[in-house]
């Protein structure tokens, strides 16, 4: 019998990325993950996840990708690589990264131009709380994008607060950056 579990991708397999993996796997998702660190990919695979060898590979297998990286520059690099993937099936990107509003607003525009929904969903809580579904999520994004991602957001945590458009669920602004910069 074929596995019919929905596939989700995670870019960034640190503490938060691994917690998201545990949570989503427990909710019935098949999780594919990527990290620039080979050791993180190996640990993910050894724990039962499917490790992608590149961001384009992740974007070609997962319709929705969660990005759980450390800061704006990494968020930009990962998102741009996902958008540029030649065989992309990814139509939704959920940023778990707490980023500057200007970064998220620019990425929302670039995602929209590529036909990809962007949802901002930074979380509060330890990796243990996130893995157990007890983290708190603050959601920003266009209504249609948030609706498209609702089943994934609900699988991560029931503790969600809808804010408004992308760039409104994070701290104050700075100059925008883009994929073409």
pTM higher than the cut 0.85:
yes
Q: For position 1, what pLDDT does the model report?
A: 43
Task: Report pLDDT digits (tens) over 29-51.
Answer: 999 999 999 999 999 999 999 99
- Going by CATH, does the domain composed of 7-164 fall within 3.40.50.720? yes
Residues 115, 88: contact at Cβ < 8 Å? no
Quick one: which of 94, 100, 43, 107 has its CA closest to 67? 94
Helix (H/G/I), strand (E/B), else coil: 94: strand
Mean pLDDT of 160-179: 64
Q: Are 17 and 74 in contact (CB under 8 A)?
A: no
Q: How many CB atoms lie within 10 A of CB 32?
A: 22
**What pLDDT sits at residue 82?**
98
pLDDT beyond 60 at 108: yes
Percent of the chain with pLDDT over 90: 83
pLDDT of 103 above 80: yes
pLDDT of 93 > 80? The answer is yes
What's 6's DSSP letter? P
| Among 84, 68, 96, 72, CA closest to 175 | 72
Residue extents of the structural domains in the chain: 7-164
Are 106 and 176 contacting, i.e. CB atoms less than 8 angstroms apart? yes
């Amino acid at each position: 019998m074929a596995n019919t579990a929905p596939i989700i991708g995670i870019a960034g397999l640190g503490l938060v990325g691994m917690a998201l993996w545990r949570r989503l796997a427990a909710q019935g998702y098949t999780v594919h993950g990527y990290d620039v660190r080979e050791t993180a990919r190996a640990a993910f695979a050894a724990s039962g996840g499917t490790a992608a060898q590149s961001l384009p590979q992740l974007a070609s297998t997962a319709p929705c990708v969660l990005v759980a990286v450390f800061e704006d520059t990494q968020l930009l690099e990962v998102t741009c690589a996902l958008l540029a993937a030649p065989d992309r099936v990814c139509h939704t990107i959920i940023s778990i990264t707490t980023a500057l509003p200007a970064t998220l607003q620019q990425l929302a525009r670039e995602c929209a131009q590529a036909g990809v929904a962007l949802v901002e969903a930074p979380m509060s809580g330890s990796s243990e709380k996130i893995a157990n579904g007890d983290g708190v999520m603050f959601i920003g994004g266009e209504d249609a994008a948030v609706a498209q991602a609702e089943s994934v957001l609900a699988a991560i945590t029931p503790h969600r607060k809808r804010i408004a458009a992308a760039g409104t669920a994070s701290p104050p602004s700075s100059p925008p950056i883009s994929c073409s910069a």
